[in-house]
Chain A
């Protein structure tokens, strides 16, 4: 993972000092709320239903065990003992007092953590594949490029007051685990025929009120030109993005209005004068950052050690967990382990301070001190020796993060909803909890196979419902909670938006409707290996609609 040097540390410390001063000026009345709000948002401080919420960035989803302990400490000292991992590889604390925020941030800064640009009209946390650096199918480690971008775009003087937020995702594998096509800017690492590294540049994706899949405006951008080209994209957006209507202010609207080609031409015009200037990325510059990424000193191990096979044969539960939560690693003898933060009846993506500390210790013992956060709101231990898996599993079970439901129906992605969020129309967490109880039977869940349910409490789509196999969108009708249901969405390299099933269903019936969809799937599938998404693609939405609305 990336190791901060004194420059990185100094910047974060200086940021905390600035925020401390801003809070003081707010509390004394020198700053009005209107003046303070954009400033606190740029530090990730929201005002929600019950309290302030602090969003901490976890750059490209990578955490050290010490950083996890720092998060646990903040949860304990300043919050109510838990945190929530989000769909953008961040963590949220829901109860911190404004008066204590500077201290909490100072504590986090000591561990190299911050909330810079996790909110506000600026470039947000740059996300990537939570398996970056260890996935067998990647070209190279996407996180290095994410870090190059993160530094360039942190406190950028020109781009700190954009028309609206700007989200970037990077992937380096053919199978896109970073959902790049539903980001404002998606980057896909490629090699050209000469073997040079470059990026496919995709612009104008996004969910929310007007969802779009991003368009490719440059099939191959040489790595050298990454910063200058993105500078040109942002300069174009900064000047011409709409500002008078927040629902029309994202870059996707500008791209759609101009057309992808016209937009690309604007960017080209901004880019050509600057492409050979100081932003051209020389190999030394890339190396200076790449060098600070430390990789484990892997041992020379064999795949499938005998002890592993024995444990697998002896314990059915271990066997199931192994097949579900453990993925292949690029280094022989190692594995990528996903920790489920979706226990039966639990709020999706939450972890207690005790769990965080325990996971930090396990990371030290089993994963070279490194943890990842995925946009599915689960955690990952990315460097586990296969022979350690049985012992690790028992330890994970003890702290409740070994539910073998990764990618299955009970691995629900959900926003916090009306229980926390002032923007929400409906609650979402209780619906998720209810569904995890209804589908708690692991045999059933495994039989159903890969099935992503995404729940958003409002059109801002923080639960990414548009790209769920089953998407639930909270809406309000006459003061009552309802859900619109979509099916057939996907977030990967074949990204697609779900189609509306029919009229919104009342809150109390949402889980029933999901059960009806599942029942329909079981009836319609040709074989057990045909997934829910496969069936929707094959038979279409109408058939499902009939089943769900037959008695409604």
Chain B
């Protein structure tokens, strides 16, 4: 997928702001109270270009995480947030493959 930071800002549905935590590179999401959380359910959702841009600008200024960008989410009927594309699914839940383990030896 085109690196999100290279994309032009466009909001066509609900979005969150996501980045990688500086200390360990873990995937984090921007919360409504202007912090970084590893839990998608805590992410602030933007629905307008203005709102998302504001969230992003404040996120970018927060050096606790790097490479912040706007990512699509989907909202379940019960209000729960789901990653909005494959890349975000993989970022949220990790590689789609089993990591090598020593089982079997």
Is A529 located at the chain interface by the 8 A CB criterion?
no
Q: Is B79 an interface residue (CB 8 A)?
A: no
Task: Name the residue among B1, B3, B27, B104 with the largest chain A CB count within 10 angstroms.
Answer: B1
Q: Of A27, A47, A51, A351, which one neighbours B67 at CB under 8 angstroms?
A: A47
In-complex Cβ contact of B105 among A398, A420, A476 (8 A): A398
Please, how many angstroms separate the alpha-carbon atoms of A97 and B101 in the complex?
Answer: 20
| A427–B90 CA distance with the chains assembled, in angstroms | 10
A185 to chain B, nearest CB (A): 28
Report yes or no: A27 in contact with B25, Cβ–Cβ below 8 A.
no
In the complex with contacts A81-B100, A352-B100, A27-B105 CB distance below 8 A: no
* The one of A50, A351, A398 that contacts B100, using a Cβ cutoff of 8 Å: A351
Known contacts A346-B100, A419-B97; A99/B105 CB under 8 A = no
Complex Cα gap A81–B99 (Å): 9
Judge whether B25 and A98 touch: CB under 8 Å: yes
Shortest CB-to-CB span from B72 to chain A, Å, is 9
Nearest chain B CB to A394's CB is how many angstroms away? Answer: 14
Instruction: Indicate whether A80 reaches chain B with its CB closer than 8 angstroms.
Output: yes
With contact pairs A47-B67, A50-B94, A52-B25 given, residues A418 and B87 touching in the complex (Cβ less than 8 Å): yes
User: Chain B contacts of A492 at CB under 8 A?
Assistant: none
Tell me which residues from 71 to 98 in chain B have a Cβ below 8 Å from any Cβ of chain A.
85-87, 90-91, 94-97
For A5-43 the 0/1 string (1 means CB < 8 A from B) is: 000000000000000000000110100110000000000
**Given A47-B20, A98-B24, A422-B3: A33 and B66 within 8 A (CB)?**
yes
Asked if B23 is at the interface (CB within 8 A of a chain A CB), the reply is yes
Neighbouring A residues of B95 by C-beta, 8 Å: 50, 419-420, 429
CB-CB nearest in chain A for B67? A47
CB of B49 within 8 Å of the partner chain: no
CB neighbours (8 Å) of B1 from chain A are: 418, 424-425, 476, 479
Chain B residues closer than 8 Å to A50, beta-carbon distance: 25-27, 91, 94-95
* B9 surroundings in chain A (CB, below 8 A): none
A354 contacts partner chain B, Cβ-Cβ < 8 Å: yes
Q: Known: A29-B63, A353-B102. Is A52-B90 also a contact (CB below 8 A)?
A: no
Interface pair B96/A51, CB less than 8 Å apart: no
Answer yes or no: A493 CB below 8 A from chain B CBs.
no
Report the bound CA distance from A512 to B26 in whole Å.
35
Say how far A504's CB is from chain B's closest CB, in angstroms.
15
A32 to B63, CA, bound (A): 8
A425 to B96, CA, bound (A): 14
> Does B32 make an interface contact (CB < 8 A)?
no
Q: In the docked arrangement, what's the CA distance between A358 and B105, Å?
A: 10
A-side contacts of B102, CB under 8 Å: 81, 352-355
Whether B100 pairs with A419 at a CB distance below 8 angstroms is no
Q: Which residues of B contact A97 (CB under 8 A)?
A: 23-25
Contact B22 A27 (CB under 8 A): yes
Partner of B25, one of A51, A425, A481: A51
Are A354 and B105 in contact (CB-based, < 8 A)? yes
The residue of chain B having its C-beta at the shortest distance from the C-beta of A34 within the complex is: B66
A95 → chain B closest CB, angstroms? 8
B-contact 0/1 string along A117-129, CB 8 Å cutoff: 0000000000000
**Option from A47, A81, A358, A425 in Cβ contact (under 8 Å) with B101:** A81
Q: Write the A400-424 contact mask toward B (1 if CB under 8 angstroms, else 0).
A: 1000000000000000001110111
A347 interface hit (Cβ, 8 Å):
yes
CB-based contact B3/A423 at 8 Å: yes
Interchain CB contact under 8 A, B22 and A49: no
Which of A33, A49, A98 is B91 in contact with, Cβ under 8 Å? Answer: A49
Known: A81-B102, A354-B102, A418-B87. A427 touches B96 (CB 8 A): yes
| A82-B99, A418-B86 known; A52-B24 Cβ under 8 A | yes
Query: How many angstroms between the C-alpha atoms of A51 and B94 in the bound complex?
Result: 10
Complex: how many Å from CA A167 to CA B102? Answer: 34
What residue of chain A has the Cβ atom nearest to residue B23's Cβ?
Answer: A99
Query: A370 at interface (Cβ–Cβ under 8 A)?
Result: no
Min distance, Cβ A106 to any Cβ of chain B, angstroms: 18
Q: Is A48's CB within 8 Å of the partner chain B? A: yes
Q: Given the known A-B contacts A97-B23, A97-B24, A422-B3, are A399 and B97 also in contact in the complex, defined by CB atoms under 8 Å?
A: no
CA distance A209 to B41 in the complex (A): 38
A47 to B90, CA, bound (A): 15
Cβ of A430 < 8 Å from any Cβ of B?
yes
Q: Which residues of B contact A429 (CB under 8 A)?
A: 95, 97
Tell me which residues across on chain A come within 8 A of B94, comparing CB atoms: 50
A48 CA / B90 CA spacing, docked (Å): 12
A350 interface residue (CB < 8 Å to B): yes
Q: Are B63 and A48 in contact (CB under 8 A)?
A: no
- Most A CB atoms within 10 A — which of B20, B90, B97? B97
Flag if A347 contacts B97 (CB, 8 Å).
Answer: yes
Which positions 369-418 of chain A face chain B at CB distance < 8 Å? 398-400, 418
Q: Which residues A87-115 have CB closer than 8 A to chain B? A: 97-99
A433 on the B face (CB < 8 A): yes
Please report the C-alpha to C-alpha distance between residue A320 and residue B79 in the assembled complex, in whole angstroms: 58
0/1 interface trace, chain A 432-473, chain B, CB 8 Å (1 if under): 010000000000000000000000000000000000000000
Central interface residue in A48, A351, A399, A419, by most chain B CB within 10 Å: A419
Roughly how many angstroms separate A347 CA and B99 CA in the complex, as a whole number? Answer: 9
Nearest opposing residue in chain A for B95, CB measure: A419
Contact status B85-A479, CB under 8 Å: yes
B interface residues, Cβ below 8 angstroms from A: 1-3, 20, 22-27, 63, 66-67, 85-87, 90-91, 94-97, 99-102, 104-105
Q: Enumerate chain A interface residues (CB-CB to B < 8 A).
A: 26-27, 29, 32-33, 47-52, 80-82, 97-99, 346-347, 350-355, 358, 398-400, 418-420, 422-425, 427, 429-430, 433, 476, 479, 481
Given contacts A347-B100, A351-B100, 13 further A-B contacts (CB under 8 A): A26-B22, A27-B22, A32-B63, A50-B25, A51-B20, A51-B25, A51-B26, A81-B99, A82-B101, A97-B24, A422-B3, A476-B2, A479-B1
